Amino acid sequence: MTADAPTQDALHGFTIFRHEVRIGAVELLSTEEVPMECATLAAELSAQPSVPPLSPDQLERSLHHRHLPALDETAVIDYDQSEQRITAFDPARLDTLINAVQDLTESLEGNRF
């Protein structure tokens, strides 16, 4: 059995919102020029107080191997792993995921016993 589109969108939204690095990356990418190198994103994120205190090199490795591929799976970004470059950011897709998370959360709150 597969999840319906709103549920799948909510799951993708939770993939983003469950980690500070992913939230920071999406926030930064929404205001910056894309395409962007993974190293550039890591350098900019390492200065953010909401991101765990990692060196830019550690953050870059974490972004490349874990966070950017996860964001790519949500279709909010396109990440070229071989080039280590974010090639696209889709703000409309991000809005869809945010709305799906809000809708699911509200429906769960309405079903309290």
- Give tens-digit pLDDT for 86-97: 999 999 999 999
- The residue among 3, 4, 16 whose CA lies nearest residue 97 is 16
Q: What is the pLDDT of residue 32?
A: 93
Domains with residue ranges and CATH for the chain: 5-97 (1.10.10)
Q: What is the pTM of this model?
A: 0.88
Q: What is the pLDDT of residue 1?
A: 40
List per-residue pLDDT tens for the chain, 113 residues long.
Answer: 456 788 899 999 999 999 999 999 999 999 999 999 999 999 999 988 888 888 889 999 999 999 999 999 999 999 999 999 999 999 999 999 999 999 998 888 876 65
